[in-house]
Amino acid sequence: MNALYLMVAGLGAFTVGYLVYSRFISERIFQLNPEFRTPAHVQEDGVDFVPTNRWVLWGHHFTSVAGAAPIVGPAIAVIWGWLPAFLWITLGTVFFAGIHDAGALWASVRNEGKSIGALTESVVGKRARSLFMIIIFLLLLMVNAVFAIIIARLFVQHPTSVIPAWFVIAVAITIGYLLYRRGVALLWPSIIGVTLLYASMLVGNQIPLSLPESMFGLGPAGIWVVILFTYAAIASLLPVWLLLQPRDYINGLQLFIGLGIFFLAVLLARPEVVAPMINPSVPDDVPPIFPLLFVTIACGACSGFHGLVSSGTTSKQVNNEQDVRFVGFLGTVGEGSLALAAIIACTAGFATLGDWQGYYTSFATNGIDAFVQGGGGILASIPGISESFGRTLLAVMAILFAATTMDTGVRLLRYIVQEWGTIYDIPVLTGKGLSTVLAVGCCLALAFGSGGGGEGGLIIWPLFGTTNQLLAALTLLVLSVFILKQGRPTVYTLAPFSFLLFMTVWALLTQLRGFYDNEQYFLLGLDAVILVTAIWVGLESLSALRKAASESRESSA
């Protein structure tokens, strides 16, 4: 089958989903009202609450939620064949992620722009909020560890990506400096900055940089993990305007350009999908597709992390309540298209089925390489782009996504540690120094504790997806309770909630068994903690729902 059909079918499903289903949900369930005064107007303060153009807000929302995860998840999951991953991404984007992301945004807009954590406390209860914080902490820990491992892997496999990936830091700092210290307008620095980034990929493509085979008893991937966390620690201590802000910005621009180039290349190349529709001969170490598919692809189909963004910065800047549909649902569609691009790269970018099978010899480890390798082949159909340059471009794209997430992730972990310092009255933890060391230390422990000296640490990927889905389930629950209190139908949020909770608990049990059999006791412990939290969330939700249902019955009686 031609990949073009896959692209048209996927993008078509997103379009129909947006035009039909999101309209239905917005009109019947959310009942979006253009007359409603949003928190951005009621509480306008020029700091957090600022009415913002919906295109700008969509750009912010989409680039905040899209990262390396919607690439890595599908890239791993096509090992079961392209159809299951394709179906889960299209159906998940429309029926799960769309209502989850837009719902969190809407609930927050209707509740003074409160974050989903604060909403949980007021809608479900204090205990549920504590569970929320535990899940977020674990999620941040895993995202940092996993992304460091992915970047390290890409640096080792594609040494041409090393120069551009580090050069972008210099570009970002220059833009930040020009804008804040020199007051230069942004247009030209943006154009020159992005041009320089792509020029540095050309340079990197000519000059690959590799680390020595072994240093201090670590392999090259292990060394890169240590270097990356040292960088992330320093970066998280720098002022936001100097590095994080311009870096996020360039990354956002690069996301639009990268997606555009990729879909253009698919149009030009019209590659054949060589991977099987459903893989009849999966390698021995691949876990069962049910339930693992649904946690291997979290971002790209449904991810709890999006709810944090929706209810964090986005909801406070919604100009008109009707923008919720545009920003929330279309942000999800953007993320779904990135996942779709990943599926096409990983299934149609190879010449033969044999080549494809060569990459998918075991679970989780080679997915991201398949994306770079396959996608590079497709990009080469654009005149002037060589296959090796295409590979460098995609490797750098994935690295930049993962690295900006790490920059933010380490900073957020530090904030949590500092907050604990304040709550439990431990003054040394409230400062920046020790809290950063602790945050980075935990991430490093997880990166190396998952085995393979940072080489094979993608073992925790499904566990990361599980935690992410659990967060999504919790958000959908809070949303359901809120909708129930308004006396509207809850089936559109409760159905995806039940599905996600069932799949995450099942996946946790499956993985628990796997970790026990492989004697990975560190991960076994982590899995157990998440499992207990998941069951607890289930119980809390039942009681909260029952209470809300009886309240709504009483009020209607």
Partner 1 sequence: MDWRDRLGRVGELLHEFYVVRHRGALARERRQEDDLFMLLVFSEMMGIENPSNYYTLELLPLLYEGFHEWHLRMGMDHSPLEHFRCC
Binding site for partner 1 (CB under 8 A): 46-48, 50, 52-53, 55-57, 59-60, 64, 179, 185-187, 190, 239-241, 244-246, 248-249, 252, 313, 316-317
Residue 317 or 467 with smaller CB distance to partner 1? 317
Q: Are the beta carbons of 259 and 71 closer than 8 angstroms?
A: no
How many other CB atoms are found less than 10 A from the CB of residue 231? 17
| 3-state secondary structure (DSSP) of residue 52 | strand
How many angstroms separate the CA atoms of 181 and 171, rounded? Answer: 15
- Please report which helix (H) or strand (E) contains residue 120, including its range: helix 116-123
Q: Which two tokens stand for residue 323?
A: 């923008």
Residue 153 or 414 with smaller CB distance to partner 1? 414
Taking the complex as a whole, the smallest distance from the CB of residue 523 to partner 1 amounts, in Å, to: 33
Taking the complex as a whole, the smallest distance from the CB of residue 346 to partner 1 amounts, in Å, to: 30
Burial of 525 (0-12, 13-18, 19+ CB in 10 A): exposed
Residue 190 or 381 with smaller CB distance to partner 1? 190
Residue 402 or 481 with smaller CB distance to partner 1? 402
Residue 218 or 240 with smaller CB distance to partner 1? 240
Q: Are the beta carbons of 394 and 165 closer than 8 angstroms?
A: no
Taking the complex as a whole, the smallest distance from the CB of residue 180 to partner 1 amounts, in Å, to: 9
Taking the complex as a whole, the smallest distance from the CB of residue 240 to partner 1 amounts, in Å, to: 5
Taking the complex as a whole, the smallest distance from the CB of residue 412 to partner 1 amounts, in Å, to: 11
Of 111, 99, 104, the residue nearest 36 (C-alpha): 111
Residue 149 or 172 with smaller CB distance to partner 1? 172
Residue 59 or 409 with smaller CB distance to partner 1? 59
First to last CA, the chain: 58
Residue 158 or 247 with smaller CB distance to partner 1? 247
Chain center to CA of 68: 6
Residue 204 or 258 with smaller CB distance to partner 1? 258
Peptide bond into 291 cis (omega under 30): yes
Chain center to CA of 15: 22
Residue 186 or 351 with smaller CB distance to partner 1? 186
Taking the complex as a whole, the smallest distance from the CB of residue 139 to partner 1 amounts, in Å, to: 19
Residue 104's identity, in one-letter code, is A
Peptide bond into 280 cis (omega under 30): no
What letter does residue 2 receive in the DSSP assignment?
A: B
Taking the complex as a whole, the smallest distance from the CB of residue 72 to partner 1 amounts, in Å, to: 23
Q: How many residues belong to the chain?
A: 557
| 3-state secondary structure (DSSP) of residue 218 | strand
Chain center to CA of 99: 17
Taking the complex as a whole, the smallest distance from the CB of residue 273 to partner 1 amounts, in Å, to: 35
| 3-state secondary structure (DSSP) of residue 358 | helix
Residue 407 or 527 with smaller CB distance to partner 1? 407
Q: Are the beta carbons of 473 and 305 closer than 8 angstroms?
A: no
Taking the complex as a whole, the smallest distance from the CB of residue 87 to partner 1 amounts, in Å, to: 33
Taking the complex as a whole, the smallest distance from the CB of residue 24 to partner 1 amounts, in Å, to: 29
Taking the complex as a whole, the smallest distance from the CB of residue 144 to partner 1 amounts, in Å, to: 19
How many angstroms separate the CA atoms of 499 and 363, rounded? Answer: 24
Q: Which two tokens stand for residue 26?
A: 């917005």
Collect all residues with Cβ–Cβ distance below 8 Å to 521 and sequence separation of at least 6: 515
Q: Which two tokens stand for residue 496?
A: 């995806």
Residue 89 or 172 with smaller CB distance to partner 1? 172
How many angstroms separate the CA atoms of 39 and 323, rounded? Answer: 13
Give the CA count within 13 Å in the CB-facing half-sphere of 210. Answer: 9
Residue 64 or 90 with smaller CB distance to partner 1? 64
Residue 238's identity, in one-letter code, is L
Of 482, 115, 106, 18, the residue nearest 321 (C-alpha): 106
Taking the complex as a whole, the smallest distance from the CB of residue 164 to partner 1 amounts, in Å, to: 21
| 3-state secondary structure (DSSP) of residue 386 | coil
Per-residue CA distances from 169 to 71, 155, 163, 206 (Å)? 22, 16, 11, 20
3-state secondary structure 445-489: HHHHHCCHHHCCHHHHHHHHHHHHHHHHHHHHHHHHHHHHHCCCC
Taking the complex as a whole, the smallest distance from the CB of residue 59 to partner 1 amounts, in Å, to: 5
Residue 52 or 498 with smaller CB distance to partner 1? 52
Taking the complex as a whole, the smallest distance from the CB of residue 473 to partner 1 amounts, in Å, to: 26
